[in-house]
Structure 1
Amino acid sequence: MEEKMKIAVIANCQTQAISNYLRIITGCKEIVNVPVHMFGSELYLKALGSLKSIVEDENGIIFTFNLSERFGELETTNLKKIAKAKVYSITNLYFSGFHPDITYLGSMGKRVSSPLGDLHSKIIITAFTQGLDVNEAKNSFNNETYKALGFYEEFESSKEELFARDANSNIQFANEFLALVTSKHALYTMNHPIPEVLHKFACKLCEHTGIPYDNYPSEFFNNYLSNATWWLIYKEIAEFHGLKIQCPMLFKQPDNKGGNVLSLNEFIVRSYQKYEDVGAHVIRDAFKELGC
């Protein structure tokens, strides 16, 4: 790897992990992360400043999610036109087929928090807004509820969305990604992959662009995403889709929110406490905005 090569990764919460993997396997000393999920923040604006030197560098390589015009100067079509660097659109590693219960409450930057950070359970919110007690909410985690809420259909819907995004990317990874997530517990949540996924993705980026790299074992890599929420796949959903894994009904908080492992009962109790603090009307209104 020549020292003059510069790389930028424009992505969501995955950007730091992808950049770290690229740094290790390529030896590139200058990699810029641009976290678009933090659009407008101080960190985002600082990253934009660092990105400019790569955009103007003919030896630079930029990997970016396909971004719309709402991201201003980072709109992918525009970036490809103005950059002297080579710009490659890449796949957003998102698949909700095994995590259909997860939802956000509130718009970006105005999220209502839960015991698991920004992530909420649709089942728990539904139970809370319907006035069910904790035991009734717990008993709602069953096959009938999953059917009624369309959880089993989420797999095909998310798969179609994944391949549609992939078709518009210069570097395609949907087949490899889906093969991994349907063979093992490869996602902490719908958009937080385990090290093996990120490692193979980083190698694919290098192979496509001709960047020399060393293929270290994926187990060696630190994954920043593992510090966030762990939401294990519900047994019935795994069985329905033929995923041969066994998972306890447990949830891990993000490390910066305590990092504790919660039972389903604890998750419900703490969620109810949060929602009561915020106000039932606020939760109902935010949930309605999601179309639920």
Structure 2
Amino acid sequence: MEGISESRAVVIGNCQSQPLKHTLSLLCQDLRFDNLSVHLFGQDQEGEIGRFVETALTQYDHIISVGLSDDYGPLSLDNIRQTFPGKSVTLISNIFYTGLHPDLTYIGGMANRLAGPLGDYHSLVALTGYLRGYPADMIVRMFSAGIYEKLDFFSAHDRSIAELHRRDARHDVAVAPLIEAMMRDVPLFMSVNHPTAALIWAYCRKIAAHLAERHGVELSGWSGGPDLLANHLGLSAIYPVYPEIAAHLGVRYEASYSFKPETRFDTPAVTMNLHRFVEGELEAFASLPRELLGDSHQGRMIMGHQASIDLEHLLEEEGRPVAIHVPAPVNALTPVQPQDEPADEEAARLREELEAVKLLLDERIDLIAALRAEAPSTGAPTIARLMDELEHVKGNAERQSATIARLLTRLIDRDVSADAAAILDALFELGERAARARVEAG
């Protein structure tokens, strides 16, 4: 606007650079941010970088960049300060965290990735089942705590946070402490590299504070918060946090097996349940020759590293009570409990939650019976709808078992020993109900 002198800044990074520039522009007074998305470089990457540097030297006062590899020449972590002498250069971490989504993977290189129901995102569990030759219904049953433990998903948080701390050590503004502090209370990731507005907001506040302290940038005082931010990453596919992973990490928000595909323009996205997602994955895998898929990086890992892992015994036909798995708390996060709630009140509340879950399972069992009775007298479209609902009901029953595992873990953490026997009795009773649901669902 006339009469206002604005400085210019640029955020260099991947897909995260766009929401970062919008948020930083709100937090910094009279400082307008652009972004350079390096993942969109074409075949002439060297030429594109050269042209950007030439323009940036005269156009921007502040450079904010993730630590790039040597492949990016003058923009790399080791060279960028020398590339922009006399400029304000701030190095930030590329936000990549697998703890909430250890099942998510890519298949193929950056320019040649296999597309599936969630675009570039694929499931390691589904790929493992496919390469082992399992049928679809068996692969659906693989989405369980026992399989996740076998595939080492429960240690993904520790590995990912350790890597983030290692990267943070070479950057000016760390992100790992934010993830550790916030991850239990609010959703932070839509996938391994797509942070939510909550994390974007928290990280940009740290970046803005660094710019103010180290480079004299004036803060705007804008306090709209993450709910008022635009985050275009939400238009991409969103991978759910599985209930078993959530229970292991002690997160307090809702987990599910509901997968959101990419939103295209103004057309609303329709989510997929686990059954439909697995069907879409198998269709995508079948589009490639099996030997080519097996020769991918992920395929070699499955057929090599995982070849000796026995999964089959966990997937036997289930006509018996469900074994409810509580992951061993080795290197696990300990859920933080309210400190002002007496132990006896905590136990009473847990008993109420257990009873509510049992009632829900009974309702699910009744619904399954009703669906089975209705199906023979209906036409094919209705039967198809009923079968979809049946799969949803079966998934709900399994997820209730995971909920009880989480509640029991919290009870043990609070050391409510006087009620342990009663809670265990309720737990086993719930297991029997879950078994009945699975038998009714066939």
TM over 0.5: yes
Q: Does 1:230 align with 2:238?
A: yes
Q: What amino acid does structure 1 have at the position aligned with 2:279?
A: V
User: Is the 2:14–2:38 Cα contact (8 Å) retained in structure 1?
Assistant: yes
Counterpart CA distance in 2 for 1:10 and 1:79 is 11
Superposed displacement of residue 42, structure 1 = 8.1
Counterpart CA distance in 1 for 2:230 and 2:160 is 27
Between 1 and 2, higher relative CO (CA 8 Å, sep ≥ 6) is seen in 1
Q: What amino acid does structure 1 have at the position aligned with 2:71?
A: R
Superposed displacement of residue 229, structure 1 = 1.4
Q: Does 1:82 align with 2:83?
A: yes
- 1:220 is aligned to 228
- 1:245 is aligned to 253
Counterpart CA distance in 2 for 1:50 and 1:115 is 35
Query: Which segment drifts farther, 44-53 or 111-120?
Result: 44-53
- 1:274 is aligned to 284
- 1:63 is aligned to 64
Counterpart CA distance in 2 for 1:25 and 1:176 is 18
- Give the aligned CA root-mean-square deviation in angstroms: 2.4
Superposed displacement of residue 288, structure 1 = 4.5
Counterpart CA distance in 2 for 1:164 and 1:201 is 17
User: Is the 2:91–2:173 Cα contact (8 Å) retained in structure 1?
Assistant: yes
3-state DSSP of counterpart to 1:222: coil
Identity, in percent, stands at 23
3-state DSSP of counterpart to 1:244: coil
User: Is the 1:8–1:51 Cα contact (8 Å) retained in structure 2?
Assistant: no
Of Structure 1 and Structure 2, the greater helix share is in: 2
Counterpart CA distance in 1 for 2:25 and 2:227 is 16
Q: How does 1:22-171 map to 2 (within 5 A)?
A: 22-26=24-28, 28=30, 30-40=32-42, 49-50=51-52, 52-56=54-58, 60-84=61-85, 85-171=87-173
3-state DSSP of counterpart to 1:275: helix
Query: Which segment drifts farther, 22-31 or 109-118?
Result: 22-31
Counterpart CA distance in 2 for 1:194 and 1:223 is 7
Superposed displacement of residue 54, structure 1 = 2.9
Superposed displacement of residue 203, structure 1 = 1.7
C-alpha distance 116-47 of structure 1, shift in aligned 2 (>3 A):
farther
C-alpha distance 141-31 of structure 1, shift in aligned 2 (>3 A):
same
Counterpart CA distance in 1 for 2:183 and 2:46 is 30
- 1:262 is aligned to 272
User: Is the 1:203–1:215 Cα contact (8 Å) retained in structure 2?
Assistant: no
Superposed displacement of residue 18, structure 1 = 0.5
- Once the two structures are superposed, residues 235-261 of structure 1 have per-residue CA deviations (whole angstroms, 9 ceiling, x without a partner) of 111111211232221100111397331
C-alpha distance 290-38 of structure 1, shift in aligned 2 (>3 A):
farther
Superposed displacement of residue 49, structure 1 = 3.7
Q: Which runs of 5+ in 1 are unaligned?
A: none
- Once the two structures are superposed, residues 177-224 of structure 1 have per-residue CA deviations (whole angstroms, 9 ceiling, x without a partner) of 321223222211112111121112112111111132222222111111
Q: Which runs of 5+ in 2 are unaligned?
A: 303-442
3-state DSSP of counterpart to 1:250: coil
C-alpha distance 33-39 of structure 1, shift in aligned 2 (>3 A):
same
Query: Which segment drifts farther, 131-140 or 252-261?
Result: 252-261
Q: What amino acid does structure 2 have at the position aligned with 1:282?
A: L
Of Structure 1 and Structure 2, the greater strand share is in: 1
C-alpha distance 189-265 of structure 1, shift in aligned 2 (>3 A):
same
Query: Which segment drifts farther, 46-55 or 12-21?
Result: 46-55
3-state DSSP of counterpart to 1:291: helix
Counterpart CA distance in 1 for 2:115 and 2:9 is 34
Counterpart CA distance in 2 for 1:238 and 1:122 is 18
3-state DSSP of counterpart to 2:186: coil
**TM-score of the superposition, structure 2-length normalised?**
0.61
- 2:325 is aligned to none
State which structure, 1 or 2, has the greater radius of gyration over its C-alpha atoms. 2
- Once the two structures are superposed, residues 143-198 of structure 1 have per-residue CA deviations (whole angstroms, 9 ceiling, x without a partner) of 11101100001110001001111111112232123212232222111121111211
Q: What amino acid does structure 2 have at the position aligned with 1:269?
A: E
Counterpart CA distance in 2 for 1:23 and 1:46 is 25
- 2:200 is aligned to 198
Query: Which segment drifts farther, 18-27 or 78-87?
Result: 18-27
Counterpart CA distance in 1 for 2:64 and 2:299 is 33
